[in-house]
Structure 1
């Protein structure tokens, strides 16, 4: 069978959870004898003509068709926000790709900067289409359900006025932007209605407001054309259906990870040595590494050591802030990234993994990997994580963004002699990626 997978960005330049999941699924499908192809995006700063935005390469012997995009006018579009969720140029290319490859099924893992118009192209071509949302992007323009200043958000207001305020606030100094997000939704929605009534010729602001105002309805309409949506947890399932996605096409299925790699067993009995903590993930503010560093400042180096694994070039301003927080602390080591095949070796070198996310995290794959490795997880108590981590059983949970809450959890690991070993022994291996792919094949009505 021919299977086309779609993801917003891909290896070798990008290797976060969504990319790892897409690659893992592709590898298993190939091992089952299926022909796999991937369509992806790639952010570029080059000035490119429309035909130059598409190229192809191979990764791990998998053909990858790539769309090099940017927040600039392209095709017949000028709205930067519209280009992010309804990219006509990407959709037209995808239509040609469907004609050329003739897939038996299309599975979307992420559509940022590619656009939900790809769904319409698949449906028009008569190709069964499915979707695994790996964050909140289809509902929330930022994918994080966070307002400027870090306040959690339930999603777009009736007219998406809160989204307009967020984007406007993000262009202002942080202090002013945070104050701006306090504007009540009823006021911002009223402003959107006024701006929306103005002619497009009034300026680019009108186009962008209109694009935000119509984003949710457009996306939901297209999601409802899918044959199935595989939600990884209850929170995403609820978010989708609450915003108008048909409940009959949404099923829940947790991710699978590669369990074929050898697990490095670590003795986590407390001894007279520092406790080794680890952070693995994107070094961006919503992942909360700064919360961990602030908590670490409250402990002497003889008690705790921290290894931070993450690419340091994607968000340089934030990473510079992390280095300032570390302040030359000899207990902190910035280790950059590693090959996903080495995940169990890395986890075997730490006593506990800390996941201090300040957003409603969508069950990061690294949590499942830690459980497979028997590595206790200390994490923010958000729904996507709490479905996988049970407090005081296989990990410890604390209030998102709470430095004192994380400090208390770390103090327990230091003070309670058998706690680490107990949490480790209660870790059970999650679903394998092979099982996950078999579940997808069943939903696609394809056989192994």
Structure 2
């Protein structure tokens, strides 16, 4: 085997890999589209069910079903009636009849709350819910800084009508080429795809709407553009926005009545869109003047011109030597395109027919649809119709012509049209005879680079002059090509016309570190400890002379077409991707739409490094995108999601899974029927191993990942900060009850059942238990302790926030943290320790790392038994004076957000360097 053969084999395999990669990408995208459709269908079904459940007939049906189930020995939930009766007896024996009544009543109330209300909500509840909705939605509606002020990559978005190939070529793809010559990034989106248009708009400096009507989706896009501080442009190359002048176009008479009505009705929508944008781009001076008369404040003229495609086709065609015609025919070509040019052709018809009568060698080739006057029937085979064809095919026919004609009816409508037909003929060195409309007069000089024919005599004489003089044809054609190359080549139009309104942008240069933070939630949708850390790190990094941008999710807003959404929080630019709360865990592993929106944000912001926090639902495609874009990334491992399908390694029975090295055989018993676990694990580990650095909030959590094969050099600890007290803690007052606090909610994994069992078993009465109910801030309660048989006092408080955090910790002396899983960190524990609050916590786990048993708290085993917790609580009740003057002597070693951010920045800079 030669040395060349292995190289050829490797190259062939590389091509195979690249082909497979493209297929896999395509398949992923198709699956994502299907998933989106299924999600929309599910939302529609939920809407239908909502309406059904609201109907009186549905209530009757539910009542009949409930009765039928009871007769057949089942509850409404489908459980055996015997089990329900047995459970009721147990509650009565343990808590009494009143407790059973309260539980049944609470469950009924909960069911009623889930159903559509026909009665008005209480004033307070309605007010709280309304305030919360407005609080969440308000940032999405606010005006945000323009993309240019954020230093994003200079980009212009063109939202265009692309269904008319010639219009798209001359007003869209040419504009893209010219703008790119000036240094702009340009993105073109079909206006029928508002989702993509709105997503692209989030990072655009300028927006051009080409030939779009003011339908609702376009109005939404214009409104959103103005939210970004963009004054959009409306561009067109036909007089389609002035109903009166458009109606004067006699070519419309060749259309049916219904077709005329559709076109004229559209004129009003085009005019409205022009006025909504407020600025216009016209292809001709006359068209620009009419735009100004429509009431817009600014208009610029950018002519139709040559482009790279036209020049390339022309050069190829000119390189082919014309074969002499045996019959000596002199070919005249007219490109009609559509059947709306019948009246235009009348301008040249008499003169052309007269010339053909005099010169029998003249033949006429018509490209496209045209109804010829009856006079032309006498020419028989000398008139040839050619079907419409693509641009290259059209240019090939034109290149074979001896003469091109461009007749236009005298009217303001045609004065507003551009001189495309002259440009196309000139670049092929084909001499042209044109009507003397405004734009032709600007460029055509009689007997130098073309001819202008105003009547029958001009048309006849000029056509005959060209037909009789081959040297004249060559001279005129050659000069025409030189002139259009000088004035209409892309570089000339870009510099002389486009740059007037879109000058070459200056790209901002900075020595500051640029970081993109990614988290499933971000303000205003703040939820969970990881989100708090992500928000604080973004804010503190920004204060440390770092440019920070954020990528997150938002609850889908129907009016925004599932597009990405840019908004601003505390001076930070944030882009959200729509993510339904109903997304399933498997779909959440790979989210192609989210990945595409993430890539767009990365390309616009150009971060030096991407910092991923919790991304479940957003998908691993973002990490793959970083690899493809060559952007290093760091992952903070806030929980076990990267290792376990169950994010916190809590089994279905509410118990913690104590695996250290993850065994998928154990996982399969926890998730029977899950077929994707091996694929999931492979995807997760492969991406994590490509990370430049992995960060954990605690040594305990780091050990979990090391136990699963990660390099110790790759995994570092970046301890989470927290909110330190703004006021000193109020110490326990002598001879007053000890106040215990629990903030973990009612989940078993947080130890709630243990707390109840312990406090119901206390003989002491000299204590108070403060419980946090997270739903009180929403206007209703979810926690009921009326059935607890205790001898002390129980108080329920709403969840605390920044403004009330110190108040809560001032209301307790001891924090209970009997979590039944190895927490990755334990934010509440640190908040308590910093405020001189004693902590009783389970160990091992991240929650226990800052507690020294007997010094600033008590550590109890993580074994699910109530006895250790009870012993710790009774020990404190036996010595209440120990808390009278207690101060945590070790709190200075606790981290804060600033120190965490400083360390994080060092980690991120090391990755970039």
Q: Same fold (TM over 0.5)?
A: yes
Aligned equivalents of 1:215, 1:325: Cα separation in 2: 44
Aligned equivalents of 1:39, 1:122: Cα separation in 2: 13
Residue number in structure 1 paired with 2:545: 33
Residue number in structure 1 paired with 2:190: none
- Give the direction of change, closer, same or farther, for the CA distance of 1:281–1:99 in structure 2 (3 Å limit): farther
Cα deviation, residue 320, structure 1 = 4.7
Question: How does 1:45-444 map onto structure 2 within 5 Å?
Answer: 52=562, 54-70=564-580, 80-149=584-653, 150-154=655-659, 158=663, 160-168=664-672, 209-259=674-724, 261-268=725-732, 271-281=734-744, 283-299=746-762, 302-312=765-775, 320=782, 323=785, 326=788, 331-400=793-862, 401-420=864-883, 424-429=887-892, 430-444=894-908
8 Å CA contact 1:283, 1:312 repeated in 2: no
TM-score, length basis structure 2: 0.40
Aligned equivalents of 2:773, 2:572: Cα separation in 1: 25
Aligned equivalents of 2:710, 2:874: Cα separation in 1: 44
Residue number in structure 1 paired with 2:71: none
Aligned equivalents of 1:384, 1:120: Cα separation in 2: 30
Aligned equivalents of 1:419, 1:42: Cα separation in 2: 48
Cα deviation, residue 72, structure 1 = 6.1
Q: Which runs of 5+ in 1 are unaligned?
A: 74-79, 169-204
Cα deviation, residue 284, structure 1 = 3.5
- Give the direction of change, closer, same or farther, for the CA distance of 1:147–1:329 in structure 2 (3 Å limit): same
Cα deviation, residue 5, structure 1 = 1.0
- Give the direction of change, closer, same or farther, for the CA distance of 1:71–1:414 in structure 2 (3 Å limit): closer
Q: What SS class does the counterpart of residue 135 from structure 1 fall into?
A: coil
Aligned equivalents of 2:554, 2:787: Cα separation in 1: 31
8 Å CA contact 2:541, 2:905 repeated in 1: no
Cα deviation code 1:171-210 (max 9, x no counterpart)? xxxxxxxxxxxxxxxxxxxxxxxxxxxxxxxxxx6xxx33
- Give the direction of change, closer, same or farther, for the CA distance of 1:312–1:410 in structure 2 (3 Å limit): same
Cα deviation code 1:44-76 (max 9, x no counterpart)? 7x8x79951633433334333223324767xxx
Cα deviation, residue 162, structure 1 = 3.2
Q: What SS class does the counterpart of residue 100 from structure 1 fall into?
A: helix
- Give the direction of change, closer, same or farther, for the CA distance of 1:309–1:252 in structure 2 (3 Å limit): same
Aligned equivalents of 2:791, 2:761: Cα separation in 1: 12
Return the structure number with greater relative CO, CA threshold 8 A, min gap 6.
1
Aligned equivalents of 1:423, 1:139: Cα separation in 2: 40
- Give the direction of change, closer, same or farther, for the CA distance of 1:153–1:54 in structure 2 (3 Å limit): farther
Cα deviation code 1:326-377 (max 9, x no counterpart)? 5799822222222235423321221011112111112211211111111111
- Give the direction of change, closer, same or farther, for the CA distance of 1:105–1:38 in structure 2 (3 Å limit): same
Aligned equivalents of 2:830, 2:775: Cα separation in 1: 24
Cα deviation, residue 87, structure 1 = 2.5
Q: What SS class does the counterpart of residue 445 from structure 1 fall into?
A: helix
Cα deviation, residue 267, structure 1 = 1.7
Residue of structure 2 aligned with 1:11, choices 509, 523, 532: 523
Q: What SS class does the counterpart of residue 248 from structure 1 fall into?
A: coil
Aligned equivalents of 2:581, 2:808: Cα separation in 1: 36
Q: What SS class does the counterpart of residue 667 from structure 2 fall into?
A: helix
- Give the direction of change, closer, same or farther, for the CA distance of 1:249–1:373 in structure 2 (3 Å limit): same
Aligned equivalents of 1:423, 1:104: Cα separation in 2: 47
Aligned equivalents of 1:24, 1:71: Cα separation in 2: 24
Cα deviation code 1:68-110 (max 9, x no counterpart)? 324767xxxxxx4322223232222211111112112211111
8 Å CA contact 1:395, 1:423 repeated in 2: no
Q: Which of the two has higher C-alpha Rg?
A: 2
8 Å CA contact 2:579, 2:617 repeated in 1: yes
Cα deviation code 1:375-419 (max 9, x no counterpart)? 111111232122121211110122333322211111111102443
Cα deviation, residue 151, structure 1 = 4.4
- Give the direction of change, closer, same or farther, for the CA distance of 1:278–1:391 in structure 2 (3 Å limit): same
- Give the direction of change, closer, same or farther, for the CA distance of 1:333–1:232 in structure 2 (3 Å limit): same
Cα deviation code 1:98-135 (max 9, x no counterpart)? 11121122111112111233222123222221111111
Q: Which runs of 5+ in 2 are unaligned?
A: 1-512
- Give the direction of change, closer, same or farther, for the CA distance of 1:281–1:9 in structure 2 (3 Å limit): farther
Aligned equivalents of 2:746, 2:568: Cα separation in 1: 27
Aligned equivalents of 1:90, 1:393: Cα separation in 2: 48
- Give the direction of change, closer, same or farther, for the CA distance of 1:310–1:428 in structure 2 (3 Å limit): same
- Give the direction of change, closer, same or farther, for the CA distance of 1:59–1:258 in structure 2 (3 Å limit): same
8 Å CA contact 2:834, 2:888 repeated in 1: no
Question: Structure 1 stretch 320-329 or stretch 249-258: which is displaced more?
Answer: 320-329
Q: What SS class does the counterpart of residue 28 from structure 1 fall into?
A: helix
Question: Structure 1 stretch 394-403 or stretch 370-379: which is displaced more?
Answer: 394-403
Aligned equivalents of 2:841, 2:784: Cα separation in 1: 19
CA root-mean-square deviation: 3.2
- Give the direction of change, closer, same or farther, for the CA distance of 1:399–1:155 in structure 2 (3 Å limit): closer
- Give the direction of change, closer, same or farther, for the CA distance of 1:157–1:224 in structure 2 (3 Å limit): closer
8 Å CA contact 2:616, 2:641 repeated in 1: yes
8 Å CA contact 1:378, 1:396 repeated in 2: yes
Aligned equivalents of 1:72, 1:381: Cα separation in 2: 34
- Give the direction of change, closer, same or farther, for the CA distance of 1:437–1:115 in structure 2 (3 Å limit): same
Residue number in structure 1 paired with 2:424: none
Q: Which contiguous aligned blocks of 4+ residues in structure 1 show a shift greater than 4 angstroms?
A: 48-51, 155-158, 319-330
Cα deviation code 1:277-332 (max 9, x no counterpart)? 11234554322233223322223684221222352389xxxx85764665799822
Question: Structure 1 stretch 323-332 or stretch 275-284: which is displaced more?
Answer: 323-332
8 Å CA contact 2:843, 2:859 repeated in 1: yes
Q: What SS class does the counterpart of residue 210 from structure 1 fall into?
A: coil
8 Å CA contact 2:726, 2:806 repeated in 1: yes
Q: What SS class does the counterpart of residue 389 from structure 1 fall into?
A: coil
Cα deviation, residue 8, structure 1 = 1.9
TM-score, length basis structure 1: 0.78
8 Å CA contact 1:263, 1:345 repeated in 2: no
